[in-house]
Structure 1
Amino acid sequence: MMARWWPERRRPETRGPEKRGRGSWVAGSVVYGSVVQVTAVTGDVSVTGGEPPLYRVDAFPSARPRLTVEEARAQPARLLLARQGVVPFTGRSAELARLAEWRDGAPSVSVLLLHGPGGQGKTRLAARFATLSCEAGWDVLQARHASDPAPVGTAACRADKAGTGVLMVADYAERWPVTDLLELMQDAARQEGRPARVLLVARPAGAWWQPLANRLDRMGLATDQLPLSTLADDPITSAGDLFAAARERFAAALKAPGARGIFPPPVVLSKDSGFRSVLAIHMAALAEVDRVRRNPEQAETGLNTPAQFSAYLLNRERDHWQTLHANSRVTTPPDALGRAVYTAALTGAVTYQDGRAALTAIDACPDGDAARLLTDHAVPYPSSTPHTGTVLEPLYPDVLAEDFIALTTPGHEVEDYAPDPWATGAARRLLADKGELPGWPRHALYTLASASARWPHLAEHELAPLYLTQLDLVLESNDDAVRLGLTVLATLPTSVLQRVRVPNPVPGFAGYVSFTAVSAGVTSKLLVDDEDPYVRARAYLDLAEHIVLTGSINDSLAAIDQALAILLPLPADERVLRRVKALKERAHEALVRAEETER
């Protein structure tokens, strides 16, 4: 049967493990993966051989759930969520025109990567483009990996007719295993009679994207990418405009008319690198509006950095936990509830049984108290899909959850937020007891690496020890997460890196080429101060041997040349020189083969 994306609910095709990811695509939280159907059976039945689901397909949401004033005042950070749409979409005319040109292009199937740093507005841009595509007659769907949090169920963005094409949006694409993304693309290629477009939304590009793009090119699928620049650089916007627009909407949502006259803090207008993302500007506006609403007579608080604005909003979350506890809405004290929030930021939404196991593994509570903690955590952070039974709904936006991990972990210098000593080593405790929970390592390592990119104390004291004490687990987690972690670690002082076990590239990794490049960079930095020249030379030759397998012949030759530069002033070592000669011959032969293939 040919695979289709359909905007209406249909019963998915029953299929066995060998057809994983195949069959009709339908909207409505339909699982694509191995499905086993058993009917008309009496007595005991054992079923084996099934595989976990790959991804789910839903109609792209268009209606937005509105917060009440009371809800917004209790947890102001919820006003930042893209799905709330509190601040109207603005700017991005060039990007929208580029996306429309891609959508309306000639290829029957095409894939585009929309990428940029966290908080840059990727999700909002994708949602705006989805709405415009729906209005243009396209059926718009969203795909999420089975291990990612479920989307909020809202009214679907539906075309009024059959649709001139199908647009599939997949957020957090960098967290998908490459093999599962390829299944998604293969399903896209099976559309009948109308074009299919797959919009991948991700933070990074390059490390995971280029190998995937090469695979798609060999499959005959057109690919493109669109890097998202800062909205403050848009010709029709500025940081001041973004702050003012957010201030007005947040003041209305919080019923704080006195906040409409506040000016943006000078640091927001200074083109400080920390305020080049739209989310950072919105967070500053929200914190200022909420501060004025609560204390209209209070002088300026002196918040000047993204970390300080995050700390303010996270302290407001803690105020809410305290109120819930004081009013007996929850029995868990704020400190213990914060540990569940920390756990959820690492694991993402999980099943009830996995949630209990996670809280116990990370030492957030004794196993006997896990059920109560899950129930209490769901009061401020209810499941976005209650019918699925998931627990540990994460704090959103993602950047704020990462800041919560960083600020809760000792080692930062933000005076307005007290860390919890419990958080030291929490990620290692969680990952050390991962059991049979496939979503934990990938999600936790990627979240920790993303947070560590902005918080050096996390990189040194939490991320680096994982590469020292639990390297095997790290390598099993996800190659993109491993590469991101190595990239972050490469910025640390050599004295820290010397305590890290840099993994050798593994040919089984889908992103072997880029992983090798990152490993080479870290290894080169580590070797700078090594006193034994033969150790350094052999390390470069090891890298050359790995790199040549990837097809990056010039990089392999460069590593060999680095080894030779070390060896030339030294007494000849015939074994090493023979290895250099053999590697050079192998690299040159591969280079000749590559040139002949291109002719």
Structure 2
Amino acid sequence: MTLPMWPGPPGSAGAAPEPASGSGSTGGQRLDNVVVFGDVIMVSGVGGDVTITTARPPYRAEAFPTTVETVAVEQARQRPSQLLLAQHRVVPFVGRDSDLAEVAQWMGRPGGVLVRLLHAAGGQGKTRMAGHVADACAQAGWTVWRVLHEPEFTGGYRMDLPAGGGLLVVADYADRWPVSHLQSLLTHLKSMNVQAGVTVRVLLLARSTTAWWPALRNRLRSDHQVEATSQPLPPLGEQVDRGVLFRQARDRFATAMDVTDADRLRPPPNLAEDAFRQVLSVHMAALVAVDAHRRNTTAPTGPHALSSYLLDRERDHWYALHHRPVEPRQTPPEVMGRTVYLATLTAAVPRDTATDLLHRVGLTAPAATTIIDDHRFSYPPEDDRTVFQALQPDRLGEDLIALSTPGHRHTGDEDGWDSDDWAAAAVEQLLRFDTDPPPWAAHAVTVLVETARRWDHVATDILYPVLRTHPHLALAAGGTSITRLATIPGVDRDVLDAIAGVLPTDRHVDLDIAAAAITTALTPHRLAATTDPAAHARLHATHAWRLANAGLRDQALPPAEEAAGIYRRLAEVNPAAYLPDLAGSLNSLGVLLSELGRREEALVTSEEAVTIRRRLAEVNPAAYLPDLAMSLNSLGVRLSGLGRREEALAPAEEAVTIRRRLAEVNPAAYLPDLAGSLNNLGVLLSELGRREEALIPSEEAVTIRRRLAEVNPAAYLPDLAGSLNNLGVLLSELGRREEALVSSEEAVTIRRRLAEVNPAAYLPDLATSLWAYGWVYVNVKANFVEALEATTEAITIYGPLAEQLPAVFAERLFAAYQTLADILDGLGRADEAAELRQQLDAATGGGADPG
């Protein structure tokens, strides 16, 4: 194998700085060039760069294990599956020359912090490759950390910073981390780079890239100017001769188990089949062949049979421990098998939780303490503070769940694993909740989803029944798991219907992407189930709305247009029944067209919606005044967006008048709408130069939306951020400097959090608030350095957006550059400001105030 040249870290030849003499330290704890995580009571004798955070991070950093954990021959013979684990490195890393070269090239790129995602299906060798990269980087002078997800903080600790070199951080199962937790980690690493000058490379490992990766990548690029790239790992079985892989693994496993004559073992005849595209499958075949040869039995060849064989060997181990003559373990093999099943579902938990879990699924004899201790003896946890280490590799653990669950097509096979009717009932008992599910339930659902992607009966007999009865579990598992579930081939539509029924009816920053995936999966089937054109229109309208909430506006346009077209045809035949629906669909279509930069078309649809709803409200004001106010509000925004602000004022004021009356009668229903109209009226009055008048509706909008966001942040935080952004600009224009900065900063903070979860929907808003924040600083002539940072970040976000949708974002990008020129003037960099203005003049004219 040709090894790439691994770059050494910048400054790797240097040494850690010596502490200054006479520092006054007379003993006690001394910290030199370290990071301290968690609560700190007192630190003395500090030298060098020391970073201290009292935050309780949802992760734990530790030195990447460089010592190979060898498995004794007797242990390998008792539990052969241990030899498959990446940390034992029994089989040398082979192949992946081009993949390794790509990672090495990435490591050597310029930049203080770079992030790389390695993604592939389970068993493809991600962890092994990361270990190989870690070894190579350590030899080249890098410090290497491993970061484990730890949602519940378990105590502070310290980590040494590199002594003049760089830091490689490896995080596995990144797709199972909440995006906010990954963001917390990467924000911390970015801070280390800025404060301590440490060059950082972050290697993330994951099976899936759906939903979470775009959110994280866009946030890193826009908020921190950190380059985040992904690298898919193709099946190694397509790059390297599988026979060679088999023979190499066979020889290594034979050495580990002290087996002779293994060189005459041949690869299975079906090695060329798709089932062996993954390197883990080839290694499993080699391991089973060696162990079967040692035991003088025939090795199976089918993928499921390989798992069954290795699981049988696990059971042999449980039996031997239970029946050994000296200090036998008290847990019977049947109970141990069920405990391993349970632990694979829940993963590591505290001992008290494990006790509760055993009782929940009826494993009460012997005592829970005995079962836990016996399981811990066979499967030592990676973290000594927990119990219930899952069976690994993940593929084998998932196969244990699948093969133990009755109903698979291999039941009764001579070389099969016996199913257990306890399993199905246990999962139902495990995941039955009358209250919010605990954290481990999310992991259990995630494991079941991944297992169901390969084993149909786990989907139909376990996962789907549980989620039909308890759809809230899917919400607890998170957006990534819901999206993975929705893309299972042939997924049960009743399950998706059940989950759709508990999804938030309004926007939800954590679930909008998943809601769009669910609706996309369901809509074709719902359309096919009815010939009613009105039902078709409603389905298209709902689909468009969910897609738009997820930020997928270009995908939302076709169903929105389809809904409006159907309602128009229906209204021509039966106006009394369908004119209200036509007006609603036109209003929504106008909003969408405007967001896509098609403002003239948006105005036409908005005007038609107002015309229809005004006629309806004249006949039945109680029923249709709320709808008229909505369309008037939208019409004001459309006219203002086209620069027709004087014309926009009348519909904007009429919308406020109507909605204020409605909110006085029913505040719960109409206060959110009133706040929206007040916000828009304030912006419009400000644009017309009537700033003192604009302040009253703007402040009222913030007050209402703050109360709403306190009760339902997922629905109303985006609106609050918008009103705060506009209020900050207005206060700045009125010369109220300190208040303006407070409002603008809060808007940036909120929108930054929103963009973490759903960048497609909220990155444009974040850019607007960053630009406004910079603009406010310029307007009050304060802190031009912070203004530069905010405006530069806004430009970084607007750039790609302007390329995708120039009609929407080109003007905003141009205006942000104008603000940047003003900032450069304020920093005394007049030549750069003049050059930038010349470039802008050469490109085009025009601009806008942020708001």
Matched residue of 2:204: which SS? strand
In 2, are the aligned partners of 1:494 and 1:525 still within 8 Å (CA)?
A: no
The aligned residue for residue 110 of structure 2 is: 106
Structure 2: runs of 5+ lacking an equivalent: 1-14, 17-30, 44-53, 600-804, 812-851
- Matched residue type, 2:379: Y
Change (3 A) 1:392 1:360: same
1:476 Cα deviation after fit: 2.5
The aligned residue for residue 411 of structure 1 is: 407
Change (3 A) 1:565 1:446: farther
Structure 1: runs of 5+ lacking an equivalent: 1-6, 9-22, 40-49, 151-156
Higher relative contact order (CA 8 A, sep 6+): 1
Of 244, 266, 276, the match for 2:247: 244
1:393 Cα deviation after fit: 1.2
Of 67, 73, 78, the match for 2:82: 78
Matched residue of 2:596: which SS? helix
Matched residue of 1:83: which SS? helix
In 2, are the aligned partners of 1:134 and 1:158 still within 8 Å (CA)?
A: no
Aligned residue pairs, count? 545
The aligned residue for residue 478 of structure 1 is: 478
In 1, are the aligned partners of 2:527 and 2:539 still within 8 Å (CA)?
A: no
Change (3 A) 1:285 1:462: same
1:78 Cα deviation after fit: 0.4
Of 211, 215, 224, the match for 1:211: 215
In 2, are the aligned partners of 1:26 and 1:57 still within 8 Å (CA)?
A: no
1:148 Cα deviation after fit: 9.8
Q: Which has the larger radius of gyration?
A: 2
In 1, are the aligned partners of 2:76 and 2:257 still within 8 Å (CA)?
A: yes
2:583 paired with 1:578: yes
Change (3 A) 1:598 1:370: farther
2:320 paired with 1:320: no
The aligned residue for residue 92 of structure 2 is: 88
The aligned residue for residue 178 of structure 1 is: 179
Structure 1 CA distance, aligned partners of 2:500 and 2:551?
A: 25
- Matched residue type, 2:589: K
2:355 paired with 1:356: yes
The aligned residue for residue 399 of structure 1 is: 395
The aligned residue for residue 68 of structure 1 is: 72
In 2, are the aligned partners of 1:139 and 1:158 still within 8 Å (CA)?
A: no
Matched residue of 2:202: which SS? strand
Structure 2 CA distance, aligned partners of 1:149 and 1:232?
A: 40
1:579 Cα deviation after fit: 2.2
Matched residue of 2:364: which SS? coil
Of 809, 816, 824, the match for 1:597: 809
The aligned residue for residue 337 of structure 1 is: 336
Change (3 A) 1:329 1:179: same
Change (3 A) 1:511 1:200: farther
Change (3 A) 1:62 1:434: farther
In 2, are the aligned partners of 1:445 and 1:477 still within 8 Å (CA)?
A: yes
In 1, are the aligned partners of 2:405 and 2:423 still within 8 Å (CA)?
A: yes
- CA deviations on 1:387-418 (whole Å, 9 max, x unpaired) are x2x11111111111011011111111222111
The aligned residue for residue 154 of structure 1 is: none
Structure 2 CA distance, aligned partners of 1:126 and 1:149?
A: 26
User: What is the 5 A alignment of 1:263-282?
Assistant: 263-268=266-271, 270=272, 272-282=273-283
Change (3 A) 1:588 1:413: same
In 2, are the aligned partners of 1:551 and 1:590 still within 8 Å (CA)?
A: no
The aligned residue for residue 667 of structure 2 is: none
Farther off after superposition, 552-561 or 82-91: 552-561
Matched residue of 2:88: which SS? coil
2:262 paired with 1:259: yes
- Matched residue type, 2:253: F
1:578 Cα deviation after fit: 2.0
- CA deviations on 1:457-514 (whole Å, 9 max, x unpaired) are 11112221233111223212322222222222x533657766775654674344633x
Change (3 A) 1:304 1:456: same
Matched residue of 1:99: which SS? helix
Farther off after superposition, 257-266 or 326-335: 326-335
The aligned residue for residue 44 of structure 1 is: none
In 1, are the aligned partners of 2:512 and 2:549 still within 8 Å (CA)?
A: no
The aligned residue for residue 20 of structure 1 is: none
- CA deviations on 1:86-137 (whole Å, 9 max, x unpaired) are 0001111111111111111111111111111000000011111111111111
In 2, are the aligned partners of 1:139 and 1:163 still within 8 Å (CA)?
A: no
- CA deviations on 1:413-437 (whole Å, 9 max, x unpaired) are 2221111111114333223359788
Change (3 A) 1:25 1:476: farther
- Matched residue type, 1:428: E
Structure 2 CA distance, aligned partners of 1:25 and 1:232?
A: 44
The aligned residue for residue 54 of structure 1 is: 58
1:24 Cα deviation after fit: 11
In 2, are the aligned partners of 1:139 and 1:165 still within 8 Å (CA)?
A: yes
Structure 2 CA distance, aligned partners of 1:149 and 1:308?
A: 41
Matched residue of 2:220: which SS? helix
In 1, are the aligned partners of 2:142 and 2:166 still within 8 Å (CA)?
A: yes
The aligned residue for residue 235 of structure 2 is: 230
The aligned residue for residue 170 of structure 2 is: 169
Note the aligned Cα RMSD (angstroms).
3.1
Q: Which structure's residues are more often helix, by fraction?
A: 2
Farther off after superposition, 456-465 or 534-543: 534-543
In 1, are the aligned partners of 2:540 and 2:562 still within 8 Å (CA)?
A: yes
- CA deviations on 1:540-575 (whole Å, 9 max, x unpaired) are 312211221232111111222454576677655223
In 2, are the aligned partners of 1:427 and 1:444 still within 8 Å (CA)?
A: no
In 2, are the aligned partners of 1:171 and 1:202 still within 8 Å (CA)?
A: yes
In 2, are the aligned partners of 1:354 and 1:437 still within 8 Å (CA)?
A: no
The aligned residue for residue 197 of structure 1 is: 201
